[in-house]
Amino acid sequence: MAVTTRDLASFNSLTVGEQRFFTLKINGTTLVVPRECAHRGGPLDLGLIDQCERTVKCPWHGSTFKLSHFEKRALPTVRNGNMITIVSETAPTLFWTEYLPHLDAENRTSNAPSSNAPRAGDQS
């Protein structure tokens, strides 16, 4: 049994053994859940999160899963402020942050360069 504590701001994806997980945040609830869709193995971390319905929709086939589905499959965690302690059979082997646009739509629209914006190296 392994216990690992990390700052939630430092990652949104991790592996435990060969399995990938991601942090799912819905209406103040944070879970560390398997990345693969139970239907066909699609990348749920790229799925559409509906905060009101508390669901995640798989981007491959449109299967929709309720928060209760993830609560049953999540790694055991304890959250204290912005720190999260994860309990797993083996120590997580890798933590990283992926750009997942649906997780931060406000930043995506406000910080994304417009198609007309100059890029580094462009000459006027």
Residue type, 91: A
Structure-token pair, residue 51: 């905060």
> 69 lies in a domain?
yes
Residue with tokens 């720190």: 83
pLDDT of 117: 40
> 100 lies in a domain?
no
59: DSSP letter = T
Number of domains forming the structure of the chain:
1
- For residues 63-68, give the mean pLDDT: 93
Q: How far apart are CA 64 and CA 84, in angstroms?
A: 27
Beta strand 19-26 pairing with 13-16: antiparallel
Which range of residues forms the domain containing residue 49? 2-93
Q: How confident is the model at residue 124 (pLDDT cuts 50, 70, 90)?
A: very low
Closest C-alpha among 84, 80, 47, 83 to residue 66: 47
